[in-house]
Amino acid sequence: MASAGVLLSEEQVQCSICLDVYTKPVSTPCGHNFCLTCIKEYWDTSDKYSCPLCKENFNIRPKLRVNTFIAEMADQVKSLGVAEPTPLTQKQALNNPGLVSCDVCTGAKLKAVTSCLECQTSYCETHLEPHQIAPALKKHQLMDPVENLEDRVCQKHGKPLELFCRADQTCVCQFCTETDHKAHETVPIEEESEARKTQLRKMKVQLEEMIQGRQQKMKELQLSAENKKMEAEKDVEESRQVFTALMLSFERSQDELIEVIEEQQREVEKKTAEMIKELEQEITDLLKRSADLEELSHSEDHVLIFQSLPALPSLPESKDRAGVRVQGDLCVEPVFQALSQLEKMVQEVTLPDIKLRWMKKCGVDVTLDPDTAHPDLILSADRRQVKLGETNPKIHDKPGRFDYVVCVLGKEGFSSGRFYYEVEVKEKTRWILGVAKESINRKGPFKRSPANGHWAVGLLGDTGYTAYAGPEIPLSLSQKPQKVGVFVHYEGGQVTFYDVEARCCIYSFTGCVFREKIFPCFSTGLNNDGRNSGPLILSPVL
């Protein structure tokens, strides 16, 4: 540090605001010195007039004058050069978040190493020394250096906040436990802090688990989106192939149709030319005959007339051509045939290869719920087959078990989206398939209808196929379904039944209103005729 003789140092003539040697130094009423410009700017930006060092407030803005004595000292130090930097200046402390400066240091502020709750002051190593040697100060409660020490002291008693009141959930001092919080449960603040830290650690673990869960869900969503994108691209490519094949087929059919029409036109033109040629020859012969007759009719040689025409000449036989015309509708039949072939092709390509394949993408793995099965039903070990048997006395009644209608529900319910499943019925002469709402009546008889929460179709022996739509609707099917597909769109209010092998719709419920979870529902029907012993089999959707 540079000096002026032995008595002056730069620290003695240094402004605590700009941390530089005074320029036009002035003194405040409390006795502290600052550069004139620094203190003016400080007060211009503050809502009250106070000393930056001791925080003493002034009622009115002090009138400041340059302190000539200090100004001379500052000029003398400036003339001697710049001193070495102090270990830690106030500006350095302010530029290092988390560091607290000593409240006792004047001029350059050193870093505080501790804070005293009793004194409400932070100390550097030098100014902490009295607390280490003076018996009275040794009893003060010291802590790591912090700012805003007044927040850690009871505002009512001016004592450190050492306890925690669990009744009011607030920090209190020792005197508070003898007055306002006398009947409350209090514990040392360190003890409560450790308990809170334990809770925070548990909460942190839970938050990390929640974060991991959401990250995992995000990965699943991203993977699902990628899979959907791949499926969409595949669908686009397959649809492009389908429509390309259709267009090629259309063009081929068009070429074939044009060829047939042109061939028919050539045949018509050939026949027309032959008929015209024949008519022209007949006209030539008739004209010659007419000319000969004209000549004889004007002849005066009577003998010649009788010699040329022994009798009255007869007209030549005329061919009947009244119905002869150009056949203009010969191409109609090929057109109808081509249209029929195109219609059949479109139906064969569109329904099985697009619509049914799209529904199968909504396929779900359905298993049977044994807790809902009627006591007469026998379920396979894998819960994918059910058939009619004899009442099993070992099966106990449950609130969710059907006790009158021979039914069983699927284990999995659905409350949104689309789903599709398939059931083999080829060995059955009676069966009923569909979906049912979760609250469907399971005790006693009930009428199958959407109004009662049951959407189903079925086969009842010789009675035939029926859709249970309120009034039962007889269904006319061209062939006996071997496997039935059930497609449900929850939000769309649709339940549709398909003959999987024939690739055609059996029946569709539309405008359905689902207000609760719905479950696949299966009924084997009774075996009164002895031919209905086969099982209903839940098939995997391929």
* Predicted pLDDT of residue 160: 80
Separation of alpha carbons 286 and 288, rounded Å: 5
H or E stretch including 240?
Answer: helix 189-297
Hey, what amino acid is at 378?
Answer: I
Describe the strand order of the beta sheet including 504-509 as a list of residue ranges.
Answer: 377-379, 385-388, 536-539, 418-424, 483-489, 494-499, 504-509
The helix (run of H) or strand (run of E) holding residue 170 is strand 170-172
3-state secondary structure of 153: strand
- Collapsing DSSP to helix, strand or coil, 532 comes out as coil
CA atoms within 13 A on the CB side of 409: 23
- For residue 7 the two structure tokens come to 């008595």
- Give the pLDDT of residue 353: 55
Give the pLDDT score at 6: 38
User: For residue 168, what are the CA distances in angstroms to 161, 165, 186, 324, 374?
Assistant: 14, 6, 10, 116, 59
Break the chain into its structural domains and give their ranges: 1-84, 192-308, 377-539
Backbone phi, psi, residue 540, to 5°: -65, 140
How far is it, in rounded angstroms, from Cα 275 to Cα 288?
A: 20
pTM as predicted = 0.45
| pLDDT the model gives residue 539 | 92
pLDDT tens sequence for the chain (542 residues): 344 343 456 667 788 777 788 888 998 888 888 888 888 888 888 778 888 887 888 888 888 888 888 888 888 777 765 444 444 444 444 445 457 888 888 777 788 888 887 787 888 888 888 888 778 788 888 888 888 777 777 888 877 888 999 888 999 988 888 888 888 989 998 888 898 899 999 999 999 999 999 999 999 899 888 888 887 888 788 778 878 877 887 888 888 888 888 888 898 899 999 999 989 998 998 898 888 888 877 877 777 777 776 555 566 666 666 555 655 554 556 666 666 666 666 655 555 556 777 788 889 999 999 999 999 999 999 999 999 988 777 778 888 999 999 999 999 999 999 999 999 999 899 999 999 999 999 998 889 999 999 999 999 877 789 999 989 999 998 889 999 999 999 999 999 999 998 888 899 999 999 999 999 999 999 888 788 889 999 999 87
Phi, psi angles (nearest 5°) of residue 463: -65, -30
CB burial of residue 372 (10 Å; 0-12, 13-18, 19+):
buried
Which of 80, 116, 86 lies closest to 5, judged by CA? 80
Q: Which residue type does 182 have?
A: K
Is residue 255 within 8 A of residue 334, CB to CB? The reply is no
Of 475, 470, 474, 431, nearest to 447 by C-alpha is 470
Half-sphere exposure of 224 (CA within 13 A, CB side): 6
For 190, what's the count of Cα atoms within 13 Å in the CB-facing half-sphere? Answer: 2
> Distance between CA 415 and CA 522 in Å, rounded?
19
Neighbours of 174 (CB within 10 A): 14
Strand-strand pairing, 483-489 and 494-499: antiparallel
Beta bridge partners of 398: none
Asked if domains 1-84 and 377-539 share a fold, the reply is no
Convert 11-41 to b/e letters by CB count within 10 Å (16 or more is b).
ebbbbbbebebbbbbbbbeeebbbbbebbee
Q: 1-84, which class in CATH? A: alpha beta
The runs of H, that is alpha helices, within 298-331 are: 302-308
Closest CA to 421 of 343, 368, 479: 368
Q: E strands along 394-540, which residues?
A: 407-409, 418-424, 430-437, 454-460, 465-468, 472-475, 483-489, 494-499, 504-509, 518-523, 536-539
C-beta contacts of 134-141 below 8 A and 24+ residues apart: 140/116, 141/116, 141/117
User: Among candidates 39, 34, 29, which has minimal Cα distance to 13?
Assistant: 34
CA angle (378, 382, 384) in 5-degree steps: 65
CA distance 246 to 404: 53
φ, ψ at 70 (rounded to 5°): -70, -35
Q: Are 101 and 122 in contact (CB under 8 A)?
A: yes
C-alpha–C-alpha distance, residues 126 and 103, integer Å = 12
CB 109 within 8 A of CB 81: no
User: Is 61 strand, coil or helix?
Assistant: coil
Q: How far apart are CA 35 and CA 295, in angstroms?
A: 154
Query: Residue type for 331, please?
Result: C
> What homologous superfamily does CATH list for 377-539?
SPRY domain (2.60.120.920)
Q: What pLDDT does 92 receive?
A: 43
Q: What is the largest CA-CA distance in the chain?
A: 185
CA distance 524 to 535: 7
- Cα(153)–Cα(172) distance, integer angstroms: 9
Per DSSP, 410 falls in state B
Report d(CA 151, CA 370) in Å as an integer: 66
Structure-token pair, residue 344: 């059949």
